[in-house]
Chain A
């Protein structure tokens, strides 16, 4: 469940040391005075641009970042700045039956699409049914356990599951839950017809997407008249754009470049995320099928030193980050211990080990350089194979032809990857799969989190992978800009509440 944007955003984190308080989310700067200007235009610098606008058919976090909650809306949404809590959107309210099988949503009244047509329960039923039935639509997997989607009356939609799934509501905050006009013929490659607070006024490929406030929006209207999402793939160019005043906000600020923005009127915010910098081990390929070898590799890594080299990140020693249910501090499982690593390798008869790390090229050199030297210290020769992302998808993700791999898995609640023996980790543990299935099937949130915690501990203790760091997102917010989101903004960037006051 990794997404391309975030992979790229990670490159922003990969960098040399920086004394930034990386561990806590700082609040969005307070108003510098002056009334918010409803006619303001806000320019936001972003790193990775979507390839097209068809959110139903194309993967990529860049699309979700730009469009979900801004242009398209789902039944429910999530609030990254509130611990990823599930919040109402097109459904004003919902009820879950005691057996956890029936979800009853009350649909908001007075919602209109951008073409002026009203939202009906039929649109909701059709949208969700299409995703459930058409496997080529994004989010199809999330609705796999749905038995029926119906509209008992003109304001109610009912979804019945075949078995309880505690993550179901959360999955509706993603693409699976987005609502489109039934029978719409809009060419979604280049146009849209959503219900969100913004319409797409312009898309200049390779440059920018311009969102314009939708004045007939059913909810609270957006705080600015226009938002220009300016795509600047080069981190240095991004900082330059901030310095010369061409952007009001710069997201994914490279930690090494951040000091350049000190004292310039920009306020830096550091947000948490669910971006897991994952060092994947090919669990079935010798000698990595030997847990001693995997453990040795983890013990050889001084995570604190790596994070210091990176600039903006926190440690993470297991598959579940603090924003997701089931998090537990697992730092005791793989503390830095190169001596023990050498012993384990000797035990395993792997004293002259050579391994290859396959890494998408946009991550830069900090992580691979660190790993080469850390592994060299325990007698493991690491070759770095830096490849383009499509090559990574083919070789590592699809063909599972790799020893070690590094990518940033950004998706929230994606522990299931370790309960899926077909995932590219090749990690197959029936006990973990059973715990995960039970965690989903229960209707008790605490019990579910507890089961996930147990499963995550096993995954970490078996060294199915290493988690090099948990990513932070640094955002430079210009003077007068208020309400800009802080957390997880590489996957969600809700802009309706942002205001700009000048003067």
Chain B
């Protein structure tokens, strides 16, 4: 187990290094220049050159890369090219919106996807099961933006129950306001991600129903549902953990879109703005943290899987 964990950890670190190189150099392919943007359309070429020098953008790329990665290793993600603020501090601040948003989305997805998924598998030959399956298929195909707009129209504009956009300036010191402002965005992501999860739970459950051990259990006197509940679902649970790991990436992408739509000052919105203004030091810091987050989740999922699934342990 330890050996497995160490191997996996090494892989994680290699992944991060590769990601940092990819992020850094692919961003440099983008046309346009933050110095030009700072100078504006009144700026002379000399002025742009002077700004580039001040920001250190005139140095060789490899040198800029090693400066950056050296800072990252010391725990310093650098400072914004545009306003000199610390990227790490800025990320930590925006995370106060994005992380709760992600967790709420995940929770909402789980709460409706798991029971409904199991139910629609158990009742797959009845109308309700089919309806749920078709419904999930449809929901999963819905673009997040569209779902968000519909929810805003109904719950914010028509009914006036929840705010249509924004996050309270008072932040989490007014938790009720903060949660209220995250509710619609979280439901939006939760529904779309949950619909995908539902389809997965359904197919995993159906597979479990057909397994020999469930049939054996049923043969020993349990009802079919009892057999599924006691012997089938624990296995379904294992594969759900794996899928959830994958869905974290989906939720991050969803957050980028949803934060625009709901004007939430989170990491996703910051990322889009920073790409638009070519504040590349910030963008690469943000992307590295997000990539690292997804990789670490994957790592943890693998470990948990290993611990929970006896078959994998034996195979090692």
Residues of A within 8 A of B (CB): 1-4, 49, 51-54, 57-60, 135-136, 138, 141, 187, 189-190, 202, 204-208, 210, 228, 230-234, 236-237, 240-241, 243-244, 246, 387-395, 397-398
Contact = CB atoms under 8 A, between A and B. Distances in A.
Given A204-B169, A206-B273, A241 B263 contact: yes
Given A241-B263, A244-B163, A389-B37, 4 more contacts: A52-B83, A135-B50, A187-B84, A246-B165
Contact of B83 (A2, A51, A59, A228): A51
B47 interface: yes
Contacts of B41: 1-3, 59, 393, 397
Contacts of B152: 240
B285 interface: no
A231 B273 CA distance: 12
A141 B32 CA distance: 23
A207 B47 CA distance: 30
A243 B164 contact: yes
B265 A390 contact: no
Nearest to B42: A141
Given A202-B169, A205-B90, A244-B163, A394 B42 contact: no
A136 B55 CA distance: 13
A207 B260 CA distance: 11
Nearest to B276: A388
Nearest to B171: A204
Closest 6 interchain pairs by CB? A59-B40, A390-B32, A52-B83, A240-B164, A207-B265, A51-B82
A141 B47 CA distance: 12
B68 interface: no
Contacts of B265: 204-207
B31 A391 contact: yes
Contacts of A190: 83-85
Nearest to A246: B166
Contacts, number: 143
Contact of A206 (B38, B47, B50, B269): B269
Given A135-B44, A202-B169, A388-B276, A241 B261 contact: no
B37 A393 contact: yes
Nearest to A260: B157
A59 B42 contact: yes
A390 B260 contact: no
A236 B30 CA distance: 29
A237 B152 CA distance: 9
A139 B280 CA distance: 26
Given A390-B37, A394-B32, A136 B47 contact: yes
Nearest to A210: B169
Given A206-B273, A208-B169, A393-B41, A237 B164 contact: yes
B263 A52 contact: no
6 contacts: A53-B83, A232-B263, A237-B261, A244-B165, A387-B31, A390-B37
Contacts of B262: 237
A280 to B, nearest CB: 12
B107 to A, nearest CB: 25
B169 A59 contact: no
B198 interface: no
B46 interface: yes
B165 A237 contact: yes
Contacts of A60: 40
**Which of B51, B94, B169, B260: most chain A Cβ within 10 A?**
B169
B277 interface: yes
A391 B93 CA distance: 30
A202 to B, nearest CB: 7
B263 A233 contact: yes
A138 B85 contact: no
Interface string B30-60: 1111101111111111110011000000000
Nearest to A390: B32
A204 B265 CA distance: 8
B40 A244 contact: no
B278 interface: yes
B149 interface: yes
Contacts of B163: 244, 246
A4 B93 CA distance: 26
Contacts of A390: 30-34, 36-37, 276-278
A279 B198 CA distance: 51
B115 interface: no
A228 B170 CA distance: 13
A59 B43 contact: yes
B263 A234 contact: yes
Interface in B230-279: 260-263, 265, 269-270, 273, 276-279
Interface in B82-107: 82-85, 90, 93-94
A389 B38 CA distance: 12
Given A52-B84, A135-B44, A394 B31 contact: yes
Given A52-B83, A136-B47, A206-B265, A388 B42 contact: no
A240 B156 contact: yes
Nearest to B46: A135
A381 B152 CA distance: 40
Nearest to B279: A51
A234 B32 contact: no
B37 A234 contact: no
A9 B221 CA distance: 71
A204 B270 CA distance: 11
Contacts of B70: none
B167 interface: yes
B86 to A, nearest CB: 11
Given A53-B83, A205-B270, A390-B277, A246 B164 contact: yes
Contacts of A387: 31
Contacts of A236: 149
Interface string B55-90: 000000000000000000000000010111100001
A244 B31 contact: no
Contacts of B30: 390-391
A188 to B, nearest CB: 10
Contacts of A241: 164-166, 263
B39 A389 contact: no
Contacts of A230: 166
Contacts of B164: 237, 240-241, 243-244, 246
B15 interface: no
B51 to A, nearest CB: 7
A354 B297 CA distance: 51
B169 A1 contact: no
B135 interface: no
B28 to A, nearest CB: 13
A231 B30 CA distance: 26
B143 interface: no
A230 B37 CA distance: 23
Contacts of A136: 47, 50-51
A138 B36 contact: no
